[in-house]
Structure 1
Amino acid sequence: MMQKVRWGILSTAKIGVEKVIPAMQQGTYSEVVAIASRSAGKAQEAAGALGIETSVSSYQELLDLAEVDAIYNPLPNHLHVDWSIKALQAGKHVLCEKPLGLNVADAQRLQEAAASHPKLKVMEAFMYRHHPRWRKVKELVDNGVVGTLQTVHSFFSYYNDDPDNIRNKPDIGGGSLMDIGCYCISVPRFIFGSEPTKVTGAMEVDPTLGIDRLTSGMLQFAGGTATFTCGTQMAPHQKVTIMGSEGKIKIPMPFNAPVDRPTTIVLTKGSETEEISFETCNQYTAQGDRFSKAVIEDTPVPTPLDDALANMKVVDAVVQSSNEEAWIQY
């Protein structure tokens, strides 16, 4: 039986080079063997810096490598679906960065391609889901520790007004909702364990860049609500608060959990507050290993594609709601 999945990386994207690749190289079941860039020099530089054996100067060349079992796709959002489909056609398993596509229709193309390659694994890379903190939070809520779940509030922001940055280009899937708002939608869906019944949203568009620089929304679930705000031209901040009838849970730095020190959640019930600590952990390492283990053991991936499509559906609904200034019913 294969002991490690051999990974190829599509592009020298910053998130891959700085975060995901070094983390996966620490994994038990993951081995990064190749990296591609449209620039041979960039590919060679990244491979040298990260100790990767093979570098190639085209994405297709990487897909054609026999020694690659799976690919990680951190390309710009508009290239997620096309290159993930090409990877499946080349017989490779796929871990694709979020959001899965530009919209539901785009993402459905990948779902259909995955269905026609049933032996290959495909998963959206929502790394936060693999951190032990979040699995503990889900367990606490499901076990009724905070009473009846009532509402989830998520906040995620940073400042980036660089017109050359891909996150500020609307035609390739830029903007705050696509980049970080998708986390604020994923979290309440995960915690409630269901889909919203209706959605509303308000988006503020940058008049020069054309991307949404500030988006707020509300999701109505059968058992409660979720509210969120995300922004790409404000002070950096991220926090999630989960409120129940008998208690609350706060998750500091919920998405970019530090990798060099233990992390915490804060559970409050009545007048008692408990800080629950978790050992130092890299959620990118955990994500790579959980996916790789699914490949090795031929078991379902931790987060199925249906979840990615459902998240994309809510993203689309927030956009539609903002455009129409109305609630969108499911």
Structure 2
Amino acid sequence: MNKLKLGVLGVSNHFVKRVLPALKKSNLVEIKAIASRDVEKAKNIAGEWGVERYYGSYEKLLEDKEINSVYIPLPNNLHLEWIRKSALAKKNIICEKPLGLNTKEVEECITIAKENNIYIMEAFMYSFHPQWKKVKELIKTKEIGRICAIHCFFGYFNIDPNDIRNKIEAGGGAIRDIGCYPISVSRFVSGKRPKRVISLIRRDENFKTDCLASAMLDFGEFHSVFTVSTQSFNEQKVYIYGDAGVIEVLLPYNAYADVPLSIRVKNPLGIRKILFEISDQYQLEFEEFALSVLNNREPPITLEDSLENQKVIDAIFESEKKKNWIEI
């Protein structure tokens, strides 16, 4: 069986705790090498997880001819740099969200992919979980009628000054780290793009990052409202309100890989709980990317989709400055 020959640039906690265990379960993805500027760290992780090779620099990994694709879980401000370098090495790329820091950077990614004849995919893992495919199906079949509103909350508490999510120079902050999810969800389930946006943002006095952010996305036919925070109780929920019912997604983003999930549907017929078997959304995400590369077809999350999401993020920050609605 053909497999994706994957190299990993950086050994972030997210990669080690969530992604690496998922990849080791896959029959479609083979991690050939990992790279870290801390070579001992790379060596230890490679040894623990049975990864064939390790490198003390990202450049060395990109020189590895056996690797045809790379995963980039680096800080946000380093994404574009290593997308550029990986593309020049003719590696396909799956990169953590957000793909870039602004629309201009994502547009450059589109150009890079075309010029180097490679695939680039932004890693929105949530969309590969069966619960979201079901939500989309329920909306398409009018289980809750016409969408009127979407309400989302996503928060966690982190005031560690050494965490990259609290470093503004690294592209940290709530919107880029977790606000991208409710934006994506609203577009994913509706198949539409917002016309305008308005936001309210509070910044941490020391970090200067957005630690509490709310936004309203005007889709014309419906509104999507969300709040995200890096300094709140650890919680996440999505409610999709229709004119004939409601869908409640209880664990929308960080779905556990070893626990079955459920969603609730309320309509005039009553309350229905829909259960899902245990699924690892990271494994599913990388396997879909692998199938795209191996079969020479566009990944399920297109660069055009990433660009549309980034346009909303940019508009949210512009609204913060202008304190008004921003057309998208």
Q: What's the TM-score bracket when you normalise by the shorter of the two chains?
A: over 0.9
- Secondary structure in structure 1 of the residue aligned to 2:288: helix
**Structure 2: distance between partners of 1:116 and 1:21:** 30
TM-aligned CA deviation for residue 207 of structure 1? 0.8
Picking from 215, 218, 234, the partner of 2:216 is: 218
TM-aligned CA deviation for residue 107 of structure 1? 1.8
Q: Determine if the alignment matches structure 1 residue 299 to structure 2 residue 297.
A: yes
Amino acid at match of 1:177: I
Amino acid at match of 2:108: R
Q: After superposing the two structures, state which structure 1 stretch, 278-287 or 98-107, moved more.
A: 98-107
Q: After superposing the two structures, state which structure 1 stretch, 210-219 or 25-34, moved more.
A: 25-34
TM-aligned CA deviation for residue 271 of structure 1? 5.0
TM-aligned CA deviation for residue 291 of structure 1? 0.4
Amino acid at match of 1:281: S
**Structure 2: distance between partners of 1:251 and 1:50:** 33
Q: Determine if the alignment matches structure 1 residue 12 to structure 2 residue 11.
A: yes
- Secondary structure in structure 2 of the residue aligned to 1:177: helix
Picking from 221, 228, 231, the partner of 1:230 is: 228
**1:67-86 aligned within 5 A:** 67-86=66-85
Specify the alignment match of 2:28 in structure 1.
Answer: 29
- Secondary structure in structure 1 of the residue aligned to 2:46: helix
**Count of aligned pairs between the two proteins:** 328
Please list the CA deviations of residues 106-149 of structure 1 after superposition, one character each: whole Å capped at 9, or x if unmatched.
2222111012123x211000000111110110111112111011
TM-aligned CA deviation for residue 259 of structure 1? 1.2
**Structure 1: distance between partners of 2:227 and 2:27:** 36
**1:161-172 aligned within 5 A:** 161-172=159-170
Please list the CA deviations of residues 209-235 of structure 1 after superposition, one character each: whole Å capped at 9, or x if unmatched.
110100000000031110000000111
CA RMSD of aligned residues (A): 0.9
**Structure 1: distance between partners of 2:13 and 2:109:** 24
- Secondary structure in structure 2 of the residue aligned to 1:85: helix
TM-aligned CA deviation for residue 201 of structure 1? 0.5
**Structure 2: distance between partners of 1:69 and 1:329:** 40
- Secondary structure in structure 1 of the residue aligned to 2:121: strand
Q: Determine if the alignment matches structure 1 residue 111 to structure 2 residue 110.
A: yes
**Structure 1: distance between partners of 2:275 and 2:263:** 7
**Structure 2: distance between partners of 1:63 and 1:270:** 57
Specify the alignment match of 1:174 in structure 2.
Answer: 172
**Structure 1: distance between partners of 2:322 and 2:169:** 21
Specify the alignment match of 1:49 in structure 2.
Answer: 48
Specify the alignment match of 2:86 in structure 1.
Answer: 87
Specify the alignment match of 1:139 in structure 2.
Answer: 137
Please list the CA deviations of residues 77-118 of structure 1 after superposition, one character each: whole Å capped at 9, or x if unmatched.
001111012111101110000001111112222111012123
**Structure 2: distance between partners of 1:313 and 1:180:** 16
Specify the alignment match of 1:265 in structure 2.
Answer: 263
Specify the alignment match of 1:39 in structure 2.
Answer: 38
Specify the alignment match of 2:97 in structure 1.
Answer: 98
User: TM-score if structure 1 supplies the norm length?
Assistant: 0.98
Specify the alignment match of 2:317 in structure 1.
Answer: 319
- Secondary structure in structure 2 of the residue aligned to 1:84: helix
Amino acid at match of 1:47: A
Q: Determine if the alignment matches structure 1 residue 126 to structure 2 residue 124.
A: yes
Specify the alignment match of 2:59 in structure 1.
Answer: 60
**Structure 2: distance between partners of 1:52 and 1:328:** 47
Picking from 290, 304, 307, the partner of 1:309 is: 307
TM-aligned CA deviation for residue 263 of structure 1? 0.8
- Secondary structure in structure 2 of the residue aligned to 1:256: coil
Amino acid at match of 2:290: S
- Secondary structure in structure 2 of the residue aligned to 1:213: strand
Gaps of 5+ in 2: none
Q: Determine if the alignment matches structure 1 residue 196 to structure 2 residue 181.
A: no
**Structure 2: distance between partners of 1:164 and 1:55:** 26
TM-aligned CA deviation for residue 184 of structure 1? 1.4
**Structure 2: distance between partners of 1:171 and 1:165:** 12
TM-aligned CA deviation for residue 28 of structure 1? 2.4
Amino acid at match of 2:196: K
Q: Identity of aligned pairs, percent?
A: 40
**Structure 2: distance between partners of 1:132 and 1:117:** 33
**Structure 2: distance between partners of 1:186 and 1:239:** 14
Amino acid at match of 1:273: I
- Secondary structure in structure 2 of the residue aligned to 1:258: coil
